[in-house]
A = this chain, B = another copy of it.
Amino acid sequence: MINVGIVGGTGYTGGELARLICSHPGMELKAMTSRGNAGKPVDSVHGYLKGYVEMDFQASIENGEGLDLIFLATPHGVSMEHVPGLLDMGLKIVDLSGDYRLDDEKVYSQWYGKGHDDKDNLTKAVYGLPELFRESIADAQLVANPGCYPTASILALAPLFAAGVVKGDVVIDAKSGTSGAGVNPSIRTHHPVCGESVIAYNSGKHRHQPEIDLILHKLGEGGEVYFSPHLVPIVRGILASCYLDVNEVMTSTELQSLYAEFYSGERFVHVTGDGSIRAVVGSNHCQVAPVSLGGSKVAVFSSIDNLVKGASGQAVQCANIMCGMPEEMGIDFPGLGV
């Protein structure tokens, strides 16, 4: 039994971690922290956890006694305040923020608008996408859990980059549900604004663009990655539609074979014939649908639940690996389907 804590437990990914961990047969939730809600019962903030998480938020983790692993569900810039101390306590860490995903402090500064305060650990952190970096995750003390968009996008494109067939640039047009924007109300997520609309935002300027670019180019060659996110009026789910050219013409069937082989044996990645979010909502699964558009042009549609495979579910998956437990433990259930 692994004893875990969640730092930053009032947001959606913090609540989702607690939701998953409370049913996890190998993990026990020992502590949840919250600066703003310290002293309050967790289920007074996350009503759906009533009967499942019976503890109060505490102000901090203190000395880490009795804990094996910490999930950092803290905002960008806050995680790096916590990491060095927690590592010193000998704890394993899965950080759900963007603080340790980019391995170059200059790139970090450029996209996150602030300097990095923990450069040593920046380069030691392992990128927590198990389907690509399972072995490194197993040995890591600090895992940078991927962003929601990068998870969908990288799983969509990894087989082509790894096969060395990418020709030129890649355009990713991603559609996300509103839970990706987090727990704090804003103009963009105000229902009258987003409820019957599709909103393009931060095209070419989203922090997930360099993250996707970095990881894909570790796998193989290819042009630039252009990332264009959109908000759609659903609560959970991302569909990333990726467009690119390949340097050897392949039919949809050939593409599907290549993908099926690449993801052979993976519990959470499925190759399907078409792109849709519905089937994966509520689950840690990802569906990837590569399609030939004619000639050398290829589209790949990739769908995940942004809060599960795109955040807390993947964090549990990483934690399982880091702690030597079966990778799928506690997250091995199908999506809602409808």
Q: Taking beta carbons and an 8 Å cutoff, which residues of A are in contact with B? A: 12, 15-16, 19, 22-23, 46-52, 169, 171, 173, 175, 177-179, 181, 183-187, 189-201, 203-204, 224, 226, 228, 230, 232-237, 239, 241, 243, 245, 267, 270, 272, 274-283, 285, 289, 291-295, 297, 299, 301, 303, 307, 332-338
Q: Which residues of B contact A295 (CB under 8 A)?
A: 224
**A280 to B, closest residue via Cβ:** B48
Complex alpha-carbon distance, A115 and B53, angstroms: 45
Q: Which residues of B contact A294 (CB under 8 A)?
A: 204, 224, 226
Residue pair A338, B237 in contact (C-beta under 8 Å): no
Which single member of B16, B51, B276, B293 contacts A226 (CB below 8 Å)?
A: B293
A-B contact pairs, 12 of them (CB 8 A): A12-B192, A16-B337, A23-B333, A23-B334, A47-B272, A48-B279, A50-B270, A169-B297, A175-B230, A183-B192, A191-B195, A201-B274
Which single member of B189, B241, B281, B292 contacts A200 (CB below 8 Å)?
A: B241
Which single member of B12, B183, B203, B267 contacts A293 (CB below 8 Å)?
A: B203
Which single member of B51, B232, B301 contacts A334 (CB below 8 Å)?
A: B51
Residue pair B196, A234 in contact (C-beta under 8 Å): yes
Number of this chain's copies in the assembly equals 4
Residue pair A336, B236 in contact (C-beta under 8 Å): yes
Q: Which residues of B contact A12 (CB under 8 A)?
A: 192, 338
Residue pair A277, B197 in contact (C-beta under 8 Å): yes
Complex alpha-carbon distance, A69 and B175, angstroms: 42
Complex alpha-carbon distance, A230 and B173, angstroms: 11
Which single member of B175, B190, B237, B333 contacts A196 (CB below 8 Å)?
A: B237
Nearest CB of B to A272, in Å: 7
Nearest CB of B to A285, in Å: 8
Residue pair B235, A232 in contact (C-beta under 8 Å): no
Complex alpha-carbon distance, A124 and B232, angstroms: 41
Which single member of B49, B183, B190 contacts A189 (CB below 8 Å)?
A: B190
Residue pair A243, B243 in contact (C-beta under 8 Å): yes
Q: Which residues of B contact A185 (CB under 8 A)?
A: 185-187, 189-190
Q: Which residues of B contact A49 (CB under 8 A)?
A: 334, 337
Which 9 interchain pairs have the tightest Cβ spacing?
Answer: A204-B293, A48-B337, A200-B275, A178-B191, A185-B185, A48-B279, A173-B173, A197-B278, A185-B190
Residue pair B195, A234 in contact (C-beta under 8 Å): yes
**A15 to B, closest residue via Cβ:** B337
Complex alpha-carbon distance, A272 and B43, angstroms: 12
The residue among A186, A279, A292 with the most chain B CB atoms within 10 A of its own CB is A279
**A232 to B, closest residue via Cβ:** B232
Q: Which residues of B contact A169 (CB under 8 A)?
A: 245, 297
Complex alpha-carbon distance, A276 and B200, angstroms: 6
Known A228-B299, A292-B204; judge A173-B235 contact (CB<8 A).
no
Q: Which residues of B contact A200 (CB under 8 A)?
A: 239, 241, 274-276, 289, 299, 301
Residue pair B191, A233 in contact (C-beta under 8 Å): yes
